[in-house]
Every structure is written in structure tokens, then in C-alpha cells.
Structure 1
Amino acid sequence: MADYKSAGVDVAAGERAVELMKAAVQSAQRLETVGAFGGFAGLFDASALKNYRKPLLVTGTDGVGTKIQIARELNKHDSIGIDLVAMVVDDIVTTGAEPLFITDYIATGKVNPELISQIVSGIAAGAKKANVSLLGGETAEHPGVMADDDYDLACAGTGVVEADDVLGEKKVKVGDVVLALRSSGLHSNGYSLVRKIIAERNLNLKTIVPDFGKTLGEELLTPTEIYCTHLLKVIKLEPNAIHAISHITGGGISANLARVIPESMHIDLDKSSWQPQEVFRYLAAKNKTELIEFEHTFNLGIGMLLVVSADKVSEIKQGLTKAGQDAWLIGEVVNRTDQESDAKPKGGNGGSVRLINKFN
């Protein structure tokens, strides 16, 4: 007689995973979380929204792509959850919204309780850094569909913003300037290309790279920076100073910035204003190409771009520095002409953006 375990689903392992992750999940809660761990659904006290005139809920969903494969090869799973949270909360904050809570989804071929616990510990760490509640989640065992040691991650998040305070292209004006916030490295995009370079050049993830001062694998698993808490502090201190925010993810710098400015406007971004981290130069050298070939794939050292009032640059930079995040001036918003050779906005309409000059 067949039973669920013989079909590949180990209920006991799932229960063990829940027990191991319990403390981490319970540590990643805001005061608004209602109810105990383990319910069918998560509850969040929305009474604080009564202070909003017209609150808009903002939602985002994302994953971490094939960065997971690097974690699998190194058998290191305690930071990939930070990447997962960062990808969601920093999309939400681009609207000016405060992220409130997240839920996660883990699909795996065979539940390994210790591995699942490591993943969730990273998700909880990211949630605490982003000041969101980890309100719930699902671990799904997919025998016969995924390899036993394979897994994939997804996360959904919800935030809130005052309707009048939504950031985006409607607030952007000619004369605004662009500030850049540095990335921690590759973040969570472009890993299919990274893995192809590793395979073609027969690179070893455990090899120490002098330029990094660590192994290649350690560098590639550097967690994605979480910016939302820093940005929300500045938005609160300098209301109306930040007009738009672009999260530099898949597609590179120019295509993502173009999404948040009007079609009638253009921005030139000065590459001489920053130096990409060594990991990008290392990958370019191994791929026998130039950094310019990576401009539509990687963030090249920039995690966020802020379009801000020119007369508020000093205050915004000061606020970011106090919050622990440095910024630098990288470009200016001008009227668009037919002369620019520009990037198309990722996923829709928008303005034009061009990278100019050379990296130092």
C-alpha cells in the first residue's frame, strides 16, 4: 500500500523544519503582528493606518534567481534569505511606501529540516533589518519534480504610503539631480551569466581571489544591500525632496532608471563618478570582455538611484550618511531630444537614460 512518505513527501521532516525555524520567525515581528506562530494565515494590526488621509497598500513579489545555485554548490544557505527580503522591500520603497510585512515560499525536492532552517534564518535576519514582520510562509515538497537537494525561493511583501506622497515620474522635474547609492556587490541579478563564465573558464568557487580578500564563492554570496530603512528615514526628514527611486535590478542601471522618469525627459549618468567593485572587473576579465558589455546585466556598483530636488542634495546626503548610507551625484534630469542614444525602459514606458564617459 502506498503512503505519502513512499510518494516522496515526509510530513515528519516538514514538522521538524517548522520547529527549527520557529525561534527565527518569532524574532522577526513588528509590534503590529497579531496572533501566535503557526496559524493558517498571518494577522497584522492595520489600525495605525487611521493616521493616513488616504493610505495606499503597495505590494511586491520577487525571488533571487540562480544565485541559489551558488549557495547550493557551497552548501551555505544562511544568507540567501537576506537577498530574498531585499529584492522585495527595496522594490516597495521605490514608491515611497514603508514595507510592513512579508511572506515567503520555499519549494524543494525533499525537505531537509536543517537546510530549511538555515534559509529561514536568513529571511528572518533580512526582515529584522528591513523592519518588517515575517508574517507567514510555506515550504512545499516537490518529489519527482525537483531534485532532492534543489530548492527555489519567492517572497511577497506589503507596504503602505500616503496617496499624495507616492514617488515616481509625476514628481520628477527638469533640473532634478540623481544620487547613487552603492551596492554591496552583484546583489541578486545576473547570476546565470556569472555561472556561465564560471563553467566556461573552469573557475573554482573556493579559490581565494586576492582582489577580494576572500574566495570567489564568498564574494558571489555577499548579501544584497537592504536600503529601505535608510531611505524611509530621509523621506521622513526631508519630505518632498526625493521625487523618484529606482532599484537597480535585472536589466542594469539605465533601463531601470528610465522606468521612473517621464518620456519627455533624459538623464546622462557619469560613469567617471564611481568605480565598480572588483568583482565586476574580475568577471569581465575572465569573460575576456569590457565592463561596457555588462551595463545591461549587472548593477556595476549601484544599488539604488534617487531623483531629487537639486536644492536638497546636501540635506539628503547628510541624512543618508547619518543613516549609514553614503551617496554621490551622478546625473541631472534634462528635456529629451531625438539625439540621445538611450536605453529603453525595462517593462514599460519611461524616459531615456544614457551612461556616459568611462569608469575610473
Structure 2
Amino acid sequence: MQRITYKDSGVDLDVYAQSMARLPKLLRQTHTPRVLPLEGGFAGLFQLDFAGKLFARNYRDPVLVACSDGVGTKLKIAQMAGRHDSIGIDLVAMCVNDALCCGAEPLFFLDYVAMDRDDPVRLEQIVTGISRGCIESDAALLGGETAIMPDLYSPGEYDLAGFSVGVVERARVIDGKAISPGDVLIGVASSGLHSNGFSLVRKIVFDHAGLGIDDHVEELGATVGEALLAPTRLYVRSVRGVLSHYRKKQVVHGIAHITGGGLRENLERILPPGTALQIAPESWPVPPVFRWLQRLGNVDPDEMARVFNMGLGLVLVVSEYYAESVQAQLESAGETCWRIGSVAASDASS
């Protein structure tokens, strides 16, 4: 009688072991002294030193901030292009940028990678991107999970999920409640599409226009794959720099990560009652990739604005008195930003 093995079902434990052997170095390069060694453990250990006795982090009343997100169907683009080294940056950015909206300092990150089969090279490329994103965010890649599911994913397919934990002083939590009429909106440039709207992107580019992943787009100066795979920008260091500079003053009243729903919907999530947005739509340049997609798919402008970030990946709502200073600090940290509008009193009768 034939003996059936795990390998016969599509899971090769020897190759899986090879994959796992490639990952520890990628995790270790993100570790800070707060990560405690636990070789071969079933979990990761992170030392909470909120009193600042060991690592100069002094929190009087710390609040943990947790986020979870994925990359969506941008994964399809990476799989089509056979390029997996930057999609992990997207995964980290989608989580830590959300946590940043509460004013949080990232502490650590966990990933979940589900694949159709064991592929050590592909897994190493994916986790390399995750590791890079964690380093840029000053977060430790504490651990994760790799699942091999050949009957759930088609050949070449994989999925990603990320989990981020940060910390913020309770008195410094940014929740939008301090937003008031007269506050200024500072829009911070995105690096392109980031990681939302890709179901529409794929519909336009591949189904409607019939383009290939390696086709060159003259107006973008890049191939389709290069333009669409530009990784999501990480805003942690630049915004944390602003928050640290004003740690004794309440200058930043709200932060919105501009993802699905676009600029207006994401900003409206943090507006308190009695306030309204006044956005100047011509106050920042819309990157060419959005103009290209709009023309290629004959997409209505309102639809574009609701689906995509249109060139702004993050918006800070700040006190008018400090707006110029905040903008200057962001720019000195390498960001490109614009004053894109303000907050007004809402019409109670509307």
C-alpha cells in the first residue's frame, strides 16, 4: 500500500525549514534592546520599560495602540511582476501609519504570510520588505507566522496581514476632539497609489486598457509594474519628530491616514461635532499616476477622489498659530507638504 506523506499534499517540511532559516537575520536587524531573546520560542518577548529606567522612554500613564491591516489586491500586481521585495513595506506602512494617527510610538510588528507552497526565495523577499519597513518605523519585527495552504491559494499566490502595537501617553492621545474652527490642514505627499484602490486600478489597466505589467508608460517614465508597486510612504519618523518637538503643547489636534475613502472621508472620521472641512482642491499637485488612471479609465473626478489618496498620504490638523512651523519641520524631515485648507464651524441647520 502506498504511504502518503505531507509532501504529497503540497507541503514540503524540508523546504519549509529552509524558508524559516532565512528569516532570523531579517528579524534581528530590527531588534532593539527591548526585545528579549527567545530562540525557538512560540512567541516574541518585548520588555515594557515605560518608566524609562533602561531605555529612556518615560511614560506616566501609557496607553497601548494596536492596529491590523493588509495590502489588498496590490498583492496581485506584485505577483504579476514577480517582484516581492517592496510589498512588505506596504504591509508595515498600512499599520504603523494608522497607529501614528493616535500619536503612537511604534513598539513592535508581527506578520502573517500565507502561501500556496514553500518558496524560500519568495518568502525571504517578502520579509526583507517587512524588515525594511520596521527599521524605517523604529519598530521591532518581533515574530510572525508562515502558513502553507496549497488548496486555498492558486500557484504563485500569497496573502499578507500585519499587526502593529505602539504606545502613547494618555494625555497625548490624538483623537480629533481638540480640532476646532480655525485649525489648518497640512497635507503630506504620498509616494503614489499607496495600497488602496487596486481593484479599480487592475480593472482599468489590465481589463479595460489591456496593458501588460512590463509595458512602458511614457508619461510616468516607468513600466506599469514599477508605477503601481511604488511602496506606501512611512510617516513615522517625520511626524514623531513634530510630536516630540511639541510634547508640552497640544499643537497637532488630529491626524488622518488617507486610504480607502479618500481625503474627505478619512478626515471626516476625526472631526468633532460643530466643525466642517474647507479644502482647497488646487492647493497641491496631483501626481501623474492618478491623471493617467483617470484618463485611461474615463473615471469620474468624484470617484477618483473617493477611491484614491490623490497625492496626499497623511493630513495633520494643527493649530493655526503653529502651522508654518509644523510644515517647516516636516519639510526638514524630508516630507513634501502643503497647506490644503482649514477647519470651519459647521452650519447647524444643515
**TM-score by shorter chain over 0.5:** yes
Paired residue type of 1:248: I
Q: Do the aligned partners of 1:238 and 1:316 also contact (CA within 8 Å) in 2?
A: no
Give the Å deviation of 1:148.
2.8
Give the Å deviation of 1:277.
0.7
Which whole-Å CA distance do the structure 2 matches of 1:248 and 1:115 have between them?
A: 30
**Fraction of identical pairs, as percent:** 40
Deviations 1:318-349 (A, max 9, x none): 21122111221111111111677xxxxxxxxx
> Aligned runs of 1:147-162 on 2, under 5 Å?
147-162=154-169
Question: SS of the counterpart of 1:313?
Answer: helix
Question: SS of the counterpart of 1:47?
Answer: coil
Q: Do the aligned partners of 1:49 and 1:55 also contact (CA within 8 Å) in 2?
A: no
Matched residue, 2:297: 287
Which whole-Å CA distance do the structure 2 matches of 1:289 and 1:93 have between them?
A: 32
The yes-or-no answer on 1:203 pairing with 2:205 is no
Give the Å deviation of 1:176.
0.8
Give the Å deviation of 1:292.
3.1
Matched residue, 2:345: 335
The yes-or-no answer on 1:322 pairing with 2:335 is no
TM-score (norm 1): 0.92
Paired residue type of 2:49: S
Structure 1 gap segments, 5+ residues each = 341-360
Q: Do the aligned partners of 2:204 and 2:296 also contact (CA within 8 Å) in 1?
A: yes
Give the Å deviation of 1:3.
2.1
Which whole-Å CA distance do the structure 2 matches of 1:201 and 1:324 have between them?
A: 36
Matched residue, 1:21: 23
Which whole-Å CA distance do the structure 2 matches of 1:118 and 1:339 have between them?
A: 55
The yes-or-no answer on 1:174 pairing with 2:181 is yes
Matched residue, 1:303: 313
The yes-or-no answer on 1:118 pairing with 2:125 is yes
Which whole-Å CA distance do the structure 1 matches of 2:65 and 2:121 have between them?
A: 33
Structure 2 gap segments, 5+ residues each = 53-57
Deviations 1:134-166 (A, max 9, x none): 000100011211113110000001000000000
1:310 to 1:16, Cα distance in 2 relative to 1, 3 A: same
Question: SS of the counterpart of 2:321?
Answer: helix
Q: Do the aligned partners of 1:211 and 1:278 also contact (CA within 8 Å) in 2?
A: yes
Q: Do the aligned partners of 2:59 and 2:169 also contact (CA within 8 Å) in 1?
A: yes
The yes-or-no answer on 1:278 pairing with 2:280 is no
Question: SS of the counterpart of 2:83?
Answer: coil
Question: SS of the counterpart of 2:101?
Answer: helix
Cα RMSD for the two superposed structures: 1.3
Deviations 1:161-192 (A, max 9, x none): 00000002211111111100000000000000
The yes-or-no answer on 1:2 pairing with 2:9 is no
> Aligned runs of 1:169-248 on 2, under 5 Å?
169-198=176-205, 199-239=207-247, 240-248=250-258
Matched residue, 1:356: none
Q: Do the aligned partners of 1:92 and 1:99 also contact (CA within 8 Å) in 2?
A: yes
The yes-or-no answer on 1:250 pairing with 2:260 is yes
Paired residue type of 2:186: L
Q: Do the aligned partners of 1:280 and 1:291 also contact (CA within 8 Å) in 2?
A: no
Which whole-Å CA distance do the structure 1 matches of 2:111 and 2:23 have between them?
A: 13
Q: Do the aligned partners of 2:188 and 2:315 also contact (CA within 8 Å) in 1?
A: yes
Matched residue, 2:101: 94
Matched residue, 1:33: 35
Moved over 4 A (4+): none
Matched residue, 2:149: 142
Greater CA deviation, 200-209 or 225-234?
A: 200-209
Give the alignment partner of residue 74 of structure 1, picking from 78, 81, 87: 81
Question: SS of the counterpart of 1:337?
Answer: coil
Paired residue type of 1:294: M
Q: Do the aligned partners of 2:38 and 2:45 also contact (CA within 8 Å) in 1?
A: no
Which whole-Å CA distance do the structure 1 matches of 2:22 and 2:237 have between them?
A: 28
